[in-house]
Structure 1
Amino acid sequence: MRVALCQIPVGDDPKENLREIRAALERAAGADLAVFPEAAQVRFGNTLADVAEPLDGPFVGELRQAAREHGTALIAGVFEPAGDGRVHNTAVAIDAAGELAGAYRKIHLFDAFGDRESERVAPGDAPVVVDLAGVRIGLITCYDVRFPELARALVDRGAQVLVIIAAWAQGVFKEEHWATLVRARAIENTTWVVAVDKAPDRTPPPKGNPGGVGRSMLVDPMGTVLADLGPFATVMTGEIDMAVTERVRRFLPSLAHRRPDVL
């Protein structure tokens, strides 16, 4: 499977962000799957409830049309109303025919480093694995990557690839945490990881701290970083070879060595 890591800038205007997504899909021509950041609809620091839409609304409708026009499946972060004045931070998975293959509502909310995501976002309550581009994909959003039990639950549900979308908050040691955690999820699960963060904010959002550190990565089941996009907006396409997973798991069968009778 050819996957495009679409490390785009995300601003305050959903229409402009949609143009960035479409331009990235042009650059991703030939990819089976294009992965976009968390909150690709609008960046954090805006009033999220003002832009949130149901999954049958116009923004996701535009994503579906773009996927269909390019013949490329995509994963991207949007906001949908939660019914209590807050929103859900949702990863949508859209197939190459433009059909909604699934949606994951972020479970772990970023109430850390002085932020309080839970004031604006309602948590989801279920892991999600989707069939996309011929592969079983487990969906993870940003702060979720700090919780290895979620990644393991996705692998136990049949995920062959973990896709992590993020708008990783900037701050002291944050980039180190991102790079370390992404590789850890690949190594401990002997699985491919596609991790896409947004390009770093170059201007402050209306409210809150700048987001995005870049460093979107494609990591193989041994933890080898095959692509690291650095700090600038870019699109890069890489190859996921499921035969690598089989080879790694033959000589490193750590998943088979688990002790459910003890832990």
Structure 2
Amino acid sequence: MTADPTSDSASEATSGSPADAVRIALAQLEVEADAVESNRRRAIEAVGRAADRGADIVCLPELFTVGYFAFDAYESAAEPLEGETFGVLADAAARHEIAVLGGSIVEDLAATSAPTPAASGLANTSALFDATGERRLVYRKHHLFGYDSAESDLLVPGEAVDVCELAGFTVGVTTCYDLRFPELYRDLVDQGATLVLVPSAWPYPRVEHWRTLSRTRAIENQCYVATINGAGSFDDATLLGRSTVYDPWGTTLASTGDEPDLVLADLDPGRVDRVRETFPALADRRR
């Protein structure tokens, strides 16, 4: 399902939803290299558009402020957890009464006042805010990409794997390359995760990897998985978009192409338990 990103329409799957459905919006933003102010402005505008469409949660892509492939700009774009980007997103969440997953930013760990796993260095950090603007979850990307990428040289990996309760779901967050490491998702399921949000900056040509890994994580863990990719081109890479919501059977609920878009889907908070009861594969795990 694809919509014209210049209109007020969006890729949407909302028919036949239960009364307690939670509407999720994936903001597939155009991300410009080293254009923090304009990228941040687009993110704030997307929060408002998602709220106008009745979304309860809106999610942004990985490193949406600086652009994943703008490695030379990581240091200049770095900011603390309490910095401007997450500050304005928390304000937007409270103003629009919508939960916001702040994609991820380059975090300056030394400047962050809250305790961090490393005393210094830069991290690829996501933050989830509830509809009052309260920060509920922080996730620092665990698996740093080394193939044809400077990420593993420039950043330090995260250590904590946490979940939080939000809108009837137990929510976990992973980031992009993490999709290739299923044990991380088992850790989240062991903590009760029923919805995993995956901000990403996944490029061409690995379209089938993007689709297959994301769907597999949903199927094998019997949970909702929402993958939020960016749009746009860099010097040596083009993001493939295709932000998608998968249900606990691995069925695609809503998706889009590679242009900027807003993907909407209604999630049933009780569906994960029903699927796990109907087909109790997780109960058959041998550890």
TM-score normalised by structure 1 residue count: 0.91
2:48 maps to 1:26: yes
d(CA) in 2 for partners of 1:250 and 1:136? 17
Tell whether the 8 Å contact from 1:13 to 1:42 is kept in structure 2 after alignment: yes
Equivalence for 1:157: 191
1:253 to 280, 284, 287: 280
4+ runs of 1 displaced by more than 6 Å? Answer: none
d(CA) in 1 for partners of 2:204 and 2:123? 22
Percent identity, please: 40
Cα deviation for residue 51 of structure 1 reads 1.0
SS of residue matched to 1:162 = strand
Cα deviation for residue 246 of structure 1 reads 2.2
Deviation readout 1:142-194 (Å, 9 max, x if unpaired): 000100000110010111101111011333xx111000000000000011111
Residue identity opposite 1:68 in structure 2: A
Tell whether the 8 Å contact from 2:168 to 2:269 is kept in structure 1 after alignment: no
2:136 to 88, 101, 104: 101
1:43 to 49, 67, 70: 67
SS of residue matched to 2:187 = helix
2:70 maps to 1:63: no
2:154 maps to 1:133: no
d(CA) in 1 for partners of 2:261 and 2:199? 15
Range moving further from structure 2, 23-32 or 216-225: 23-32
Note the aligned Cα RMSD (angstroms). 1.5
Equivalence for 1:189: 221
Alignment of 1:188-227 (within 5 A): 188-199=220-231, 201-202=232-233, 204-205=234-235, 209-227=236-254
Cα deviation for residue 244 of structure 1 reads 2.0
d(CA) in 2 for partners of 1:253 and 1:239? 24
SS of residue matched to 1:218 = strand
Cα deviation for residue 243 of structure 1 reads 2.3
Cα deviation for residue 122 of structure 1 reads 0.8
d(CA) in 1 for partners of 2:169 and 2:244? 19
Deviation readout 1:196-226 (Å, 9 max, x if unpaired): 1111x23x34xxx324210111100001011
Cα deviation for residue 230 of structure 1 reads 1.3
State the structure with bigger RCO (CA 8 A, min sep 6), 1 or 2. 2
SS of residue matched to 2:270 = helix
d(CA) in 1 for partners of 2:77 and 2:90? 18
d(CA) in 1 for partners of 2:247 and 2:26? 14
> What is the total number of aligned residue pairs between the two structures?
252
Residue identity opposite 1:213 in structure 2: L
Cα deviation for residue 236 of structure 1 reads 2.1
2:178 maps to 1:144: yes
TM-score normalised by structure 2 residue count: 0.84
Residue identity opposite 2:65 in structure 1: Q
d(CA) in 2 for partners of 1:244 and 1:127? 24
Deviation readout 1:56-75 (Å, 9 max, x if unpaired): 11121111111111111111
Deviation readout 1:48-101 (Å, 9 max, x if unpaired): 111111111112111111111111111121111134874100011011111111
Tell whether the 8 Å contact from 2:244 to 2:263 is kept in structure 1 after alignment: no
